[in-house]
Structure 1
Amino acid sequence: MRILFVSNLYPPNSVGGYEKLAFSVASELSRRGHEICVLTSDHGDAIADYPGQRVFRELTLLTGETIYEPFAGDEEASARLRERNDNRLRDTVAREKPDLVFSWNLFFLHPSMLATLESLPVPVAVMLTDNWLINMVKPQWWQSYFAAEVMGGGSAAPPRGSSPSFVSRVRARLRNIRAKEAHPRANAAGPARRSLTAIFGSHYMHDLHRQAGLTFAREETIHNGVKSLGTPTHSGPDRGLLVDPEGSVRLLFAGRLVDLKGAHRAVEALGILRRTRPDLPPITLTILGDQQDRSYERTLAAAVEASGCSEQITMRPPVRENELRAVFAEHDIYLFPSLYEPFSLTLIHALGEGIPTIASDAGGNGEIVVHGRTGLTYPRGDSQALADRIATLVEDSALRARLGAAGRVAAARFTFTTMVDSMERLLEDMR
């Protein structure tokens, strides 16, 4: 097959996990003999050539210097960019003559790009690992869902201790999308049922789109998968024992440092334990992740100061995927306190390495972690509940060992090969 991947971001310019996953899938399909080309944005300074792929960095995102900054141009500038982007997509399809288009995340592009995709003379599949398509066509619905179900309380109030700027950015982005939807092309796609093949990365994402009133010509859920970091016989450390022979407990947060990933909740839980559970052994927390979101960086710093635990908290930069095993082996408990989570590859990696894991009940987390069987879960945003779960694992070495072993078995279901096999079958069937 000749496949054109379309994605707003693509390595080496990466922010989150989906663009890395797109690259991995494209690379594997190329290895299997398919012809791959990629249309992506010029966002970011890095450029790289990849064997078996032709990458065209010709789209322009409607953002500032970083994706955390708003587009600074006026409506006229925005209109020029969206027309240019739409034409780049049409021209690339006309030039490359793909058998089909495989579109990944199009966040920070105008809704007209979706209408252009649906007008192409070739089949189109959209990978829905996040809410980008809902944002494009149902922004008001998403704003209501975000306020009630993600942030809670029926309003878009930020989590306790966080900066209001995140919610302000979300509201501003949604206002911009609604304003741009007045452009004729934005509504050219018609009714809620889209003439596309939709691949959902989790059952949660499928249900979310149904709740938003969106259906597709063809729908399939294919769970995201990870490449094995170990061998089938790799057992890792005994999780009934602590990594530190002196008896201190090492907690780990690894993920993007943005409000919705909830690192500040882990900090708050540590502060609660310090105040209420002096009987527990010493506990430290490593926070591993990028710090590109300057607003959240301030939020997190304020949470650390308020917790009274600054001497127990270490900040570290993100690591490559193949370095995750060593990081997990250095810690006793993995914390995944996200407020909104479509389906996390890092969470699968953690279970696969056998580190006892505590995850919020947000989004697709429950499709990976089953409370009391493969890990522990707690109500998202509830720092007290998270603290209680941490205390449970600290005090119960047998439970740590049991959850670590069961987590390995659970993670084995979500393999990269299984995911690509399913995608390849579906794409072949679309031709």
Structure 2
Amino acid sequence: MVDTQHYTVRPARQSATRPVVGWIGTASTFRRYLLPVLPGLVRVCQAAGAEFRVIASPDVREQTVAAGAVFVPWSLATELQELQTFDIGVMPLSDDEFVRGKCAFKLIEYGAIGIPSVGSDIGANGDVIRHGVTGYLAADEQSFEQYLAELLNQSDLGRSMGAAARQVVDERFSLHSQVGRLAQVLHEAAGK
């Protein structure tokens, strides 16, 4: 869940600025899920005149830069500001036991700031992304790159998908959307 009063929709990109595709996460998820596909995603970005940014801990800086991406150190104080530089968010995964129980929090964050996402069609990603409406669910690395290129080739970088993603987050994954559900659970637990 996110506080959608804190996660505000990012301002429209200035036409003179270079599009930004981004990923945020831990060093372990970087190495396990992003790094294997990062060179291909960077190539797609470069072909479209975009840059790929990684927000993570400093221990992945060298691998990020070696793959041709821009490294941004994660900080709680700057996390939202850095997320709002993204035009498109990504969440690649591989199918394993951990992923099948993993939350799609990156996708929720991306949707909360009003940007479309491309995520692997695994686990909870399908609960957050509505394929073709809020972003794309990719079955493999090739389709992941294809969907990313498709978004980058749209003149508005999928801004309408981002607006739809924000609506999904507001309705299903925001703190305020859960108040009624929490009250009901508490009343039931209290026997009322």
Report the TM-score, using the length of structure 2 for normalisation: 0.77
- TM alignment of 1:25-424, pairs within 5 A: 225-230=1-6, 235-238=9-12, 242-243=13-14, 245-246=16-17, 248-259=18-29, 262-273=33-44, 280-290=47-57, 297=60, 301=63, 305=66, 309-310=67-68, 313-320=69-76, 323-339=78-94, 340=99, 342-379=102-139, 382-398=140-156, 400-413=158-171, 414-424=173-183
Native 8 Å contact 1:269 1:386 kept in 2 = no
- CA–CA separation in structure 1 for the residues paired with 2:24 and 2:15: 19
Native 8 Å contact 2:121 2:138 kept in 1 = yes
- For structure 1, list consecutive stretches of 5 or more residues without a partner in the other structure: 1-224
- CA–CA separation in structure 2 for the residues paired with 1:375 and 1:425: 32
Native 8 Å contact 1:272 1:387 kept in 2 = no
Partner of 1:425: 184
CA distance change for structure 1 residues 317 and 235 in 2, over 3 Å: closer, same or farther? closer
- For structure 2, list consecutive stretches of 5 or more residues without a partner in the other structure: none
- CA–CA separation in structure 2 for the residues paired with 1:384 and 1:304: 22
User: What's the secondary structure of 2:93's corresponding residue?
Assistant: coil
User: What's the secondary structure of 1:335's corresponding residue?
Assistant: strand
- CA–CA separation in structure 1 for the residues paired with 2:116 and 2:75: 20
User: What's the secondary structure of 2:71's corresponding residue?
Assistant: strand
1:253 maps to amino acid = W
Native 8 Å contact 2:21 2:89 kept in 1 = yes
- CA–CA separation in structure 2 for the residues paired with 1:266 and 1:250: 17
- CA–CA separation in structure 2 for the residues paired with 1:257 and 1:229: 28
User: What's the secondary structure of 1:245's corresponding residue?
Assistant: coil
CA distance change for structure 1 residues 355 and 377 in 2, over 3 Å: closer, same or farther? same
Native 8 Å contact 1:354 1:405 kept in 2 = yes
TM-superposed CA distance for 1:418, in Å, is 3.4
User: What's the secondary structure of 2:184's corresponding residue?
Assistant: helix
Report the TM-score, using the length of structure 1 for normalisation: 0.37
CA RMSD in angstroms, aligned pairs only? 3.1
Which fold has the larger relative contact order, with Cα–Cα distance below 8 Å and residues 6 or more apart in sequence?
Answer: 2
- CA–CA separation in structure 1 for the residues paired with 2:25 and 2:158: 22
TM-superposed CA distance for 1:421, in Å, is 4.2
Native 8 Å contact 1:328 1:355 kept in 2 = no
User: What's the secondary structure of 2:53's corresponding residue?
Assistant: strand
